[in-house]
Amino acid sequence: MPPEHEIGCPDRSVLERHVRGEPVSESERAHLESCAGCSARISEIQAENDLLNTALFAESTAPGIGGAEEQVVDGYELMGELHRGGQGVVYKARQIATNRQVAIKMMLQGRLATSQQRMRFTREVELVAGLRHPGIVTLYESGATSDGNFYFAMEFVEGMTLAEWAAAGGHSVRERVAFFAEVCSAIRYAHGRGVIHRDLKPGNILVDQEGLPHVLDFGIARMSAEHTSPDETMATLAGEFLGTFAYAAPEQLEGDPDRIDIRTDVFALGVLLYELLAGTRPFDTGSSLAELITNRLDQVPTPPSSFNPQLDRDLDVICLKALAPDSDRRYASAVELEEDLRRHLAGQPIIARADSTSYVLGRIIRRNKAVVGGVCLVLLISVFSAISFAILFANAETQRQAAERTLRGFQEAIGIINPESGQGSHDMSVEEYIRSVEDHVQVKLASEPRIASALLTTLGLIELAFRNNERSEELLERALALRADAGEAELGESYHNLGRVHAAKRDFPAALASYETGLGLRTLAHGELHTDVAMTYQHLGSIRRRMGDFAGASRDFATAESIWLELHGPNSEQLAGLINNRAWIQIDLSSSREALSDEAIRQAYLEEALEHLQHSSNLIRSLVAANDYRVGLSERSIGKVLAGLGRQEQAVERFDEAIRVLASRLGEEAESVQDARLLRARSLLELNRELDAAAGDVSRIALLCEAQGRRYEAESPWKRAASAWSLLADLEQARGEPEAARLAEAAGVAARAEAERLGAAESSSPPS
């Protein structure tokens, strides 16, 4: 509190004037400058003025939601608010030129409306303004207020909403049905002109004093409820669409704009009719969005007659037909619904018939399949069951062996699901599929550890292919635990697989230990000359290479090579893989300290690598189809080495070939394709050639990677995005576009931060 007003101090007016910069006398000014008490009071007044000025400023710069009272619509005199809802405010108004009463609806968001909303608004109004029907509220005109708010003026209907009309009661079932047939007639008229309402609800149907319906907001719902992207769907949910969930058809809830047609309105009419007749809504809305959608898709509503005994069976059938979740099973149009209602009123038989049991069952099965996506779960489970049971119940040893072979074949068949090789994709619901198989293993195969462990191993390998390393490790560990009493071959397999998981997790020492154990067990089981043994040697070599033990790696590769040669001769895929590995040792060596300090040594290593790669490439080409992804990968590797040798022109040719093959097999979004494109752009930068196209390519990849990063919430696409942005920065610099280069740099920083954030989250989250 400021000190009390002292004797000799001027009164408040003087202080206020002083603060406002209005003139005060010389003696007063002298006093104010020297008096501590007055100075404190001045501060208080200043604080008060500051608060008021800031508030007034804030008010004057409001971004768009104008107060209703202040709205001015040219040509109209606003006479008060009629209704305020999710989409807008409705005022009663007088059109000055014609002196007629109208209703004006103004979009709540006003100037905050997004560009798309603005566009749709205008488009819709044009469409709806053409509708002239006694059952539809006529739209007169639309426009924007001086401060950018959209509005439209429409016929003013004196009456109440359908909700109020129904609640008022006193209408017989017959009156209700007759009334509703009129509603259908209005909708039918609009449908005939190509306009779908999309947001039918009791609040959008007015009942005038004669008891006739007037449908409101025709087609206006489209601007809020039409979804062009998932983002927008959610926004619509947030802002506007929610209030009408109770009347939304399944296809609307699923957010599929392509499936929205006049039958969407038929569904809403079904809900309205049901509610009007039964006095309650047909569906539980549930407490969450997911629950709501599930209810809408799977629940068959209770016949309305169970709530209102005055209703007969025909009305039940009519309601349920309008409410069929599958739009193909609904009335095809409002006309059909209206006609059945009128037939019912006239005592004639209705056309609609109830769904048959076989149809209902069929629908349930179709839905289950849809959930699993690319993999047909039902089929898989039954195959698993069949094989497991065959093994369990087979008496003769030979039969058992045959069944085991089948199982093994099956394991291999699903074991190759691998997004990178073009089989399977990230989109399929692997998680769900694996969980189901896992449950199956747990329940059905508890007493058959051998089969259970084989299945768990397969699942673990699938998880590994999808890079769910933690889950993979968990499954493989469980498989291993079940193999406590198994032979060396199976134990060896388990350790080998665990080695792969550790390698994927970049825990090289652990991988090394697992592979060494696996190698020992496999050698014990099969002797030296066996595919499995060679495989483990090869993996062991890769790990040693990655740990920098090039001599050890070369030794392991040599051993593996001799086994492959012995088993498969000089032309095998495995051999090609091994030669590739040898090349990579040379590539690694080319960036060793020794090589970096002596260009001749570096070149020599790379030349040797190139030789190996070309050898392996020839081998692969002789073994697989010309557009096999392995051909693409080997072209990419060769390109990389050529680039390292400074032969950029040749490198670009190889990258082009790699991109052609890989993109045709794996699609543009594949990691290997993106990688090849980035390498190609880097070479072009070195050549100072085709920079515009390269920059275009790289920025597209950067955005694509970011989109993937967001979609999968994963670190690696963000990392790729970051390196793409920084390559783009270099390219823009070379093109003489420093501004664009700075932008790319900034984007790179952001992407790197995102990668780090996700990396930290991944490493800190406990394995699930």
Partner 1 sequence: MEITRTTTAMLEGLHDPQNAQLWEAFDRRYRPILVGFARNLGVGEVDAADIAQETLSRFVQEYREGKYDRSRGRLGAWLVGIARYRILDLRRKQAGRRQIVDDEAVAALDDERHLTQVWENERKQAVLREAMQELRTASRTDPRTIEIFELLMVHGLTTQAVAEQMDVTDHDVYLAKSRVAQRLRTIVERIEAEYDDAT
Report 736-765 residues binding partner 1 (CB under 8 A). Answer: 739-740, 742-744, 746-747, 749-750
**Binding window for partner 1 (CB under 8 A); candidates: 215-223, 225-233, 425-433, 545-553:** 225-233
**Binding window for partner 1 (CB under 8 A); candidates: 60-68, 275-283, 323-331, 645-653:** 60-68
Nearest residue (CB) to partner 1, 111 versus 568:
111
C-alpha distance from residue 394 to each of 450, 452, 471, 739 (Å): 15, 17, 33, 74
**Binding window for partner 1 (CB under 8 A); candidates: 29-37, 171-179, 280-288, 458-466:** 280-288
Distance CA 572, CA 596 (A): 35
Nearest residue (CB) to partner 1, 55 versus 354:
55
Mask: binding to partner 1, 419-458, rule CB under 8 A, as x and -? ----------------------------------------
Nearest residue (CB) to partner 1, 464 versus 695:
695
Instruction: Work out the angle between the directed axes of helices 488-504 and 531-546 (0-180°, nearest 10).
Output: 30
Closest to 701 (Cα-Cα) out of 689, 685, 719: 719
Closest to 35 (Cα-Cα) out of 50, 61, 14: 14
**Binding window for partner 1 (CB under 8 A); candidates: 281-289, 463-471, 511-519, 562-570:** 281-289
Asked if residue 360 binds partner 1 (CB under 8 A), the reply is: no
Asked if residue 1 binds partner 1 (CB under 8 A), the reply is: no
For the bound state, the minimum distance from the C-beta of residue 427 to partner 1, rounded and expressed in Å, comes to 17
Asked if residue 123 binds partner 1 (CB under 8 A), the reply is: no
Asked if 343 and 350 count as a contact pair (C-beta separation under 8 A), the reply is yes
For the bound state, the minimum distance from the C-beta of residue 696 to partner 1, rounded and expressed in Å, comes to 9
Polymer length of the chain: 768
Strands 76-84 and 88-95: antiparallel
Distance CA 497, CA 472 (A): 10
Asked if 411 and 387 count as a contact pair (C-beta separation under 8 A), the reply is no
Q: What is the 3-state secondary structure (H, E, C) of 670-690?
A: CHHHHHHHHHHHHHHHHHCCC
Q: Which residue among 81, 155, 208, 232 contacts partner 1 (CB under 8 A)? A: 232
For the bound state, the minimum distance from the C-beta of residue 200 to partner 1, rounded and expressed in Å, comes to 16
Asked if residue 62 binds partner 1 (CB under 8 A), the reply is: yes
DSSP for 146-201 reads TTS-EEEEEE---EEEHHHHHHH----HHHHHHHHHHHHHHHHHHHHTT-------
Full strand arrangement of the beta sheet holding 213-215: 159-161, 205-208, 213-215
Q: Which residue among 40, 112, 361, 481 contacts partner 1 (CB under 8 A)? A: 112
**Binding window for partner 1 (CB under 8 A); candidates: 158-166, 239-247, 579-587, 608-616:** 239-247
Distance CA 72, CA 582 (A): 79
For the bound state, the minimum distance from the C-beta of residue 692 to partner 1, rounded and expressed in Å, comes to 12
Distance CA 1, CA 530 (A): 93
Report 674-733 residues binding partner 1 (CB under 8 A). Answer: 699, 703
Q: Which residue among 99, 146, 209, 287 contacts partner 1 (CB under 8 A)? A: 287
Asked if residue 55 binds partner 1 (CB under 8 A), the reply is: yes
Nearest residue (CB) to partner 1, 138 versus 294:
294
Six token digits for residue 505? 């997790």
**Binding window for partner 1 (CB under 8 A); candidates: 178-186, 322-330, 642-650, 735-743:** 735-743
Q: Which residue among 235, 392, 489, 623 contacts partner 1 (CB under 8 A)? A: 235
Q: Which residue among 79, 82, 212, 289 contacts partner 1 (CB under 8 A)? A: 289
Asked if 228 and 274 count as a contact pair (C-beta separation under 8 A), the reply is no
Q: Which residue among 25, 43, 53, 348 contacts partner 1 (CB under 8 A)? A: 53
Asked if residue 66 binds partner 1 (CB under 8 A), the reply is: no
Distance CA 404, CA 747 (A): 54
Distance CA 220, CA 240 (A): 12
Asked if residue 288 binds partner 1 (CB under 8 A), the reply is: yes
Nearest residue (CB) to partner 1, 110 versus 301:
110
Q: How far is CA 158 from the centre of its chain?
A: 46
Report 488-527 residues binding partner 1 (CB under 8 A). Answer: none
Asked if residue 119 binds partner 1 (CB under 8 A), the reply is: no
Q: Which residue among 25, 43, 46, 54 contacts partner 1 (CB under 8 A)? A: 54
For the bound state, the minimum distance from the C-beta of residue 239 to partner 1, rounded and expressed in Å, comes to 5
For the bound state, the minimum distance from the C-beta of residue 738 to partner 1, rounded and expressed in Å, comes to 10
Q: Where are the alpha helices (DSSP H) in 625-737?
A: 629-644, 648-666, 671-687, 691-712, 715-734
Distance CA 246, CA 264 (A): 13
Asked if residue 17 binds partner 1 (CB under 8 A), the reply is: yes
Residues 6 or more apart in contact with residue 317 via CB below 8 angstroms = 350, 352, 353, 354
| First-residue to last-residue Cα distance in the chain | 60
For the bound state, the minimum distance from the C-beta of residue 497 to partner 1, rounded and expressed in Å, comes to 33
Q: Which residue among 3, 6, 12, 369 contacts partner 1 (CB under 8 A)? A: 12
For the bound state, the minimum distance from the C-beta of residue 607 to partner 1, rounded and expressed in Å, comes to 41
Nearest residue (CB) to partner 1, 26 versus 231:
231
Q: Which residue among 95, 142, 185, 233 contacts partner 1 (CB under 8 A)? A: 233
Cα-flanking dihedrals φ and ψ of residue 469, to 5°? -60, -40
Nearest residue (CB) to partner 1, 596 versus 753:
753
Closest to 365 (Cα-Cα) out of 352, 382, 353: 382
Q: Which residue among 30, 36, 40, 51 contacts partner 1 (CB under 8 A)? A: 51
Asked if residue 43 binds partner 1 (CB under 8 A), the reply is: no
**Binding window for partner 1 (CB under 8 A); candidates: 238-246, 363-371, 473-481, 616-624:** 238-246
Q: Is 303 left (phi over 0), alpha (psi -120 to 50) or beta?
A: beta
Closest to 270 (Cα-Cα) out of 152, 373, 184: 184
**Binding window for partner 1 (CB under 8 A); candidates: 29-37, 63-71, 412-420, 478-486:** 63-71
Bridge partner list, 136: 215
CB atoms within 10 A of CB 642: 22
Residues 6 or more apart in contact with residue 56 via CB below 8 angstroms = none
Q: Which residue among 1, 7, 58, 551 contacts partner 1 (CB under 8 A)? A: 58
Asked if residue 42 binds partner 1 (CB under 8 A), the reply is: no
Distance CA 326, CA 766 (A): 42
Half-sphere exposure of 340 (CA within 13 A, CB side): 24
Residues 6 or more apart in contact with residue 233 via CB below 8 angstroms = 227, 255
Report 82-111 residues binding partner 1 (CB under 8 A). Answer: 86, 109, 111
Q: Which residue among 27, 61, 209, 768 contacts partner 1 (CB under 8 A)? A: 61
Number of residues that bind partner 1 (CB under 8 A): 62
For the bound state, the minimum distance from the C-beta of residue 14 to partner 1, rounded and expressed in Å, comes to 10
Mask: binding to partner 1, 20-39, rule CB under 8 A, as x and -? x-x-----------------
For partner 1, the binding residues (CB under 8 A) are 11-13, 16-17, 20, 22, 48-49, 51-56, 58-59, 61-65, 67, 69, 86, 109, 111-118, 230-235, 237-239, 242-243, 245, 285, 287-289, 292, 699, 703, 739-740, 742-744, 746-747, 749-750
